[in-house]
Amino acid sequence: MELDEAFGSVGQFGRSQKRLTAFLVLLQVYVACQSMLIVLVGAVPEYHIDQGEIPASTEELARHVRFADNFTSIATEWYLIRHEAYKVNLASSLYFAGLLIGNIFFGPLSDRLGRKPVYMSGSLTNLTFAVGIAIYAFLGYYIREWRFLAFVSNSPGVFFFLLSFMLPESPRWLYSQGNTAEAEDVLQYLACGNGKERLTIKLKPCAGTMKKNDSASGVLNIVRHPVLRCRTIILMYIWYVCSLVYYGLTFSAGELGGNLYLNVALYGLIEVPAFPLCMFFIEKSWSGRRKTTTSFLIFAGFACIFTIFLPDNSGFFFSPTLLALCGKLTISAAFNIVYIYTSELYPTVVRNAGLGVCSMTCRFGGVLAPFVPSMKTLNPSVPFMVFGISGVSAGFLTLLLPETLNKPIAESIEDLQGPVYQMLKNKKVNQLEENT
């Protein structure tokens, strides 16, 4: 039987698939704690310097600074304030640099070794990531010693690592590699988990296997063709801005006044309404993918810019905090749509390569994001001005991309060339057939 037919026989989304999905969804809570770790572990409590002048050396600073004792962090232990504060941002940037390296090396590796060994066997929900941020804030509220907080936040990684050995390999990937017998075994395992023990799976031999240089050739095709090259440049900037503004606003939660833990939780939970919102708008004919992405990016940009003009003591409903939360809501929605929109803008033959390039660009935004909030030393309005200009510019650039709602997804690069190109191509093919 065909692979899709086999999936229908074993159960498209039965108990086995639900258990695997639950495991991968819970993993997002752990990933969220990792991404947000530095927000609380590197937070700076209120402090007082005994003498009038700011000490020039760290040793002098340690003798004269007095921190509030409501929590500890790497900043309180190693006096990472004033001229040493950049080290906290650097630690966060190194985390995203690690993600960038992972994209470069482990993405292509997943096509060689499979999805399970490099842990890319499914698409995880961003919604759980947002809830994970709130859970991390809850942990930080009750665990004020930074080493113990880091231990509690990191320890689930061992649990997920051990359980990951229970994950089966992707049957689609196995089948594409020509490993038909192994794909049948995985499908049989899923069938048993779905209560279909007596089902026998026999797949047709695979017509062809994935080439090892598919990723490299896909990137070359993106660079070679003007339509794809233009789309990629625009999408790279959009992904970069989404990451820069999303993580920049998230890290800014520690810079806002009021309760640190409540701010972090709100910056996570505010994303929850973003997902039903974007799912509603992108399926409407009057909005679609392009207009919705544009609107969310521009709204996020202006929300950040308008925070500059509101005083801190204007109340919650007219405060910079509320506008910043609105910016986080809309940039989160835009980020979620971009994944879908990008997949539809690339033809099937180069889709993985295009997503890989955009994902790598996204990590550069994450690397720079921790340093933007620290630009408030130049002027308090600078960080939100950077976020605002970035969001607005990315929103207007999105208008240069085509709409993909209710349109067939291109299978080949030639499908992007337009009807005139297709007519000439068909005419040439007909002439060759007549000559032969």
Integer Cα distance of 265 and 249 in angstroms: 13
Pairing assessment for the beta strands 47-49 and 65-67 based on DSSP bridges: antiparallel
pTM reported for the whole predicted model: 0.80
User: At 47, which helix (H) or strand (E)?
Assistant: strand 47-49
At 346-366, the pLDDT tens digits run: 887 788 788 888 988 998 999
- Most confidently modeled range among 56-60, 74-78, 103-107, 121-125: 74-78
Q: 23-55: b or e for each residue (b if 16 or more CB lie within 10 Å)?
A: bbbbbbbbebbbbbbbbbbbbbeeeeeeeeeeb
What are the φ/ψ torsions at residue 47 (nearest 5 degrees)? Answer: -145, 165
Per-residue pLDDT for 3 more than 70?
no
| Nearest to 288, CA basis, from 345, 356, 347 | 345
- Domains, the chain: 213-430 (1.20.1250.20)
| φ, ψ of residue 225 in degrees (nearest 5) | -95, 125
DSSP 11-61: -TT-HHHHHHHHHHHHHHHHHHHHHHHHHHHT----EEESSSSPPSSHHHH
Tell me which of 24 and 147 has the higher pLDDT.
Answer: 147
